[in-house]
A and B are shown apart, each in its own frame.
Chain A
Amino acid sequence: MAWDPEKDVIEVIRGPQKAGGAGGLYRAFGETLRGLKTTFGQLRMGVDTIQYPEEKIPVYPRFRGRHQLHRFEDSGLEKCVGCSLCAAACPSDCIRVVAAENTPEHRVSAGERYAAVYEINLSRCIFCGYCEVACPFDAITMGHDFELSDANRSDLIFTKEMLLAEPIERTPLRAEGE
């Protein structure tokens, strides 16, 4: 069927042609006032803003923040034996483990081997917690620290010493039932 320009008419429906009067005022500000009613209605609810970083929301115990490596409390030996299972489980491939052998003079962990290099690239980590699940010795756990921003990418590669160090308690922990 050929296109007939005569039949191709677009109808434009316009509002009332007459301006002015109370109706005009309502049309101009009515919707705005209705919005403001909601706004002012909130005044009585008080302030909900958290003044971060002066003020922090406590995290839940199972919150997955920055990793920690652990030592045995009695012997002080590292729990990590450098088995590299965390690196195998890591979906974002951000863990690097290079193992070495313990010697009687230089004993680092409880097993035959220890992690000579243990690095987590936190700029890649997606905090999924699979490393914690994979670890057969509970040597790595997810901590509660989430304040990890840095000005330098390379500073986000955490070494074994940094992960083993006692974390600075920057984040309040939510108490049971809170």
Chain B
Amino acid sequence: MPRPVEKLVSLTINGNEVQAPAGMMLADAALKYGDVEIPVFCYDAKIGPPVGACRMCLVEIEGIPKMQAGCSVAVTDGMVVHTDTPTVKAAQEAVLEFILINHPLDCPVCDKGGECPLQDNAFGWGGGLSRFIEPKRHFEKPLALSPLIAIDRERCILCYRCVRYSQEVAEDFQLVLEERGADTFVTTFDGHPYVAPFSGNIIELCPVGALTSRPYRFRARPWDIEQAGSVCTLCPAQCNVSFSVRDERVLRVLGRDHEGVDDGWLCDKGRFAYQAIHVDERVTEPMMRDGGELRPVTWELAIESAAKLLSHAGANTGALVGGETTNEEGVLLTHLMRETLGSNDLDSRPGGALDLELLRALNAPKLQASVPDLQYAHAVLVLDCEPVDDAPILDLRLRKGVRHHGVKLLIGSSRPSALDERAAHSARFAPGCGEAFAAALGAELAGQSSASLAEAAGADPADVVALATQLREAGEEVVILWGERLTAGPRRNEGARALLNLADQLGLNDRDGAGLLEIPSGTNSRGLREVGVLPNASIGLGDAATVGRDAEQIGEALAAGDLSAVILLHSDPLLDQPSSALWQRALGKASTVIAHAAFLTPAVLEHANIVFPAESYAEKEGTVVHPDSRVQRLRRSIARQGETRAEWALLAELAARIGNDPKALTCSMVSARIFEQVPFYAGLSLDLIGGVGIRWSEREAAASFPAAPAAPFTLDAPPAAASPNGLLRLGSFRSIWASPEVEASPALAFLHPRQRVEISPGDAARLGIAHGENVTVASNGDSVTGLAHIRAAAPDGTVFLQTSIPKGSAALLEGPLVEVKRS
């Protein structure tokens, strides 16, 4: 459903004429347009429609004899509202006295004290006296609602916010209210802990201290802390966050509402993984391998040795760049590699280098959908990605679109998606066959026969026909949310062409509210490509003078001895790259491995000669680019921990020692250089980016984006999906919790995944596997063990394993077929 058109109505609030959009709730309109605050507890526009549970917002509206709840009445033309009459005042005092009947007066011990809406409202609108002398209700307290959230039921004022959030926003349906009247309490339906990807949001929603964060419990008071706004770089969703900082430590992370990015929510990884900044496991000083073990050394020694080793290796150096790298670090690394060492072998894409032309076509500004488009489009096609794992916050956005704006959600993926139950139609295809599936959809939309292509994709031809019909009938505004997986692997170029053809069939080019939105594998993948951290592109996606090796070729060259050194900038190939075996060989053979890492992940621990401590996202400054082309700015929120130094300065220093000083004195100098050199960033500045970022594809400078070939492309027939033939197809996925930060955070560590083998009930019965049993998955002599997880929605003939975990990752296996048996 397209964005609603705003129609202004005029109403009178306390005698002042106010213009507000029709349909807006009175409480919102009064605050935003009339500068009149109507106190509320249960209402928050972002949870959805009001319920009017707390009655705090009573106002008088002329023509209606009784007082009305300001949160549940939409503004209409000619409405006359009074919020400051004696009647309203008396009602507010009475409601507050009523709410406070069962509320314990333990503000000094309560964690919400000082930032509590109940305190504020009682102070601002309350009568100050209570006539209630009877005993208050009592509950056992405090209880752990989950390992992350503490619940104090005595403080609960039954505003329903958390329950509504769970039921209508996150749609995990775990929180419910039990009992009636004053005995009502919030609990989970089955009494199990409330563990969900987005559970932490209820802490921020609770208007009293009933739901508090356990990691933050009693850590600080609002006046002890400072809020520092920045961007979370733990996943490509790049939510805007605000760090609560006390004594140069991040104590908690709050959302910084941004309609264009996160809609005011955070996932639990973003909310709690800040703990990893302050753990002992973190690398906070440079280390060198000495006698087979990494030992701390001085900065001088580490830099000098690194410079010596790199200048010795010269052009035989490769570099892998991880997604947490900022644009500035990326540019300084390309300076170090290309201009200083003379090597073009650097890559930020794990899936192999994509044709530059296709990359330009996929990133063309006119084809980019924005995040809010997901919520207002006629239809959204989720193609070969799982939002909740790959960019969690988009999952909530899609649910909102379906629930409130009638978005038709269509899913084409190999692994069952958490969004399936909200989808108008979902189709499954064999892992790695996204290209064939996109081609089949494109063919069906073009009116050709798609059956053979669907067959090749391992999908049900009827599914493809149904999806295509839905897409055709949905309306003009279609957004395709696609995962980088579609353009990875040996047939990546064909995958990109099939996707571009599909977009062309749907006419997504240059249409407002429609387009492509990629979920890349790394946080800043988009920015890194645009500043030229690719083997085949220069800064601004220009042609590279010499085309270098891509990630896989770097691995092969290292293993073959053609390259001797490798720089791992926030990248652990044993976790990020598709083949662990190749990288074990490559890193074992490499004579120099220089890593910039925050944690001693497998590749760093086993193979690095020199480890430089990586800054955490709260310590970093620089710019990153959101997948929807929004350039955002990271700001330093705390002092660097331990001996950590700025990484941009380190990269500049390394280049200077080798003999080619990039003359970067500050990070903002490098940013300014990027804005100058990337043609489509022209005119940007850090001030312009500010706290909310700016989408470069919406600016005039986007016109200077390099020209790309136009669809349709001719596609060659994709290879058919491997037939299981007694074995199972291997599919892989990266869990939202699979990251070193989650593993290192004490509060989140319980979520860090162990390998589990997702298998369909049919296959499990055939192989005699029971749920929770230990099973071994083997291919070509390599094997991985994990717990069997029988999933009803899993398609027959496919087994799904996790990647990016330190032990038993799916990357150890070679597909497409594997053997699964009980171990």
Give me the interface of A with B, judged by CB distance under 8 Å: 81-85, 87-88, 97-101, 111-113, 136-137
Contact = CB atoms under 8 A, between A and B. Distances in A.
Nearest to B141: A112
Contact of B218 (A85, A87, A113): A113
A112 B109 contact: yes
Interface string B215-238: 001111101100000000000000
A111 B111 CA distance: 12
Contacts of B218: 82, 99-101, 112-113
Given A111-B108, A112-B109, A112-B142, A101 B217 contact: yes
A98 B218 CA distance: 8
Nearest to B222: A88
B106 interface: yes
A107 B236 CA distance: 44
B223 A84 contact: yes
20 contacts: A81-B108, A81-B109, A82-B218, A83-B107, A83-B108, A83-B113, A83-B221, A84-B221, A84-B223, A85-B108, A87-B224, A88-B114, A88-B223, A97-B221, A98-B220, A99-B218, A100-B218, A101-B218, A112-B142, A113-B218
Interface in B734-782: none
B207 to A, nearest CB: 20
B116 to A, nearest CB: 13
Nearest to A139: B108
A138 B68 CA distance: 43
Contacts of A88: 114, 221, 223
Nearest to A114: B218
Contacts of A99: 218-219
A19 B224 CA distance: 77
Interface residues of B, number: 14
A111 B223 contact: no
B612 to A, nearest CB: 32
A82 B142 CA distance: 17
A98 B249 CA distance: 13
Contacts of A100: 218
Contact of B108 (A87, A98, A101, A136): A136
B218 to A, nearest CB: 4
A82 B218 CA distance: 9
A99 B221 CA distance: 9
Nearest to A135: B108
Nearest to B113: A83
A84 B111 CA distance: 11
- A-B CB proximity, top 6 nearest: A83-B108, A99-B218, A84-B221, A111-B109, A113-B218, A88-B223
A126 to B, nearest CB: 18
A83 B224 contact: no
A136 to B, nearest CB: 5
Given A99-B218, A100-B218, A83 B109 contact: yes
B24 to A, nearest CB: 36
Interface in B100-139: 106-109, 113-114
A84 B224 contact: yes
Q: Which of B106, B109, B113 has the most CB of A within 10 A?
A: B109
A177 B103 CA distance: 45
A137 B219 contact: no
Contacts of A83: 107-109, 113, 221
Interface in B327-350: none
Nearest to B214: A101
A54 B109 CA distance: 45
B540 to A, nearest CB: 49
A155 to B, nearest CB: 21
B106 A111 contact: yes
Contacts of A113: 109, 218
A136 B108 CA distance: 7
Q: Which of B108, B142, B219 has the most CB of A within 10 A?
A: B108
A74 to B, nearest CB: 20
B108 to A, nearest CB: 3
Contacts of B107: 83, 136
Given A82-B218, A112-B142, A137 B223 contact: no
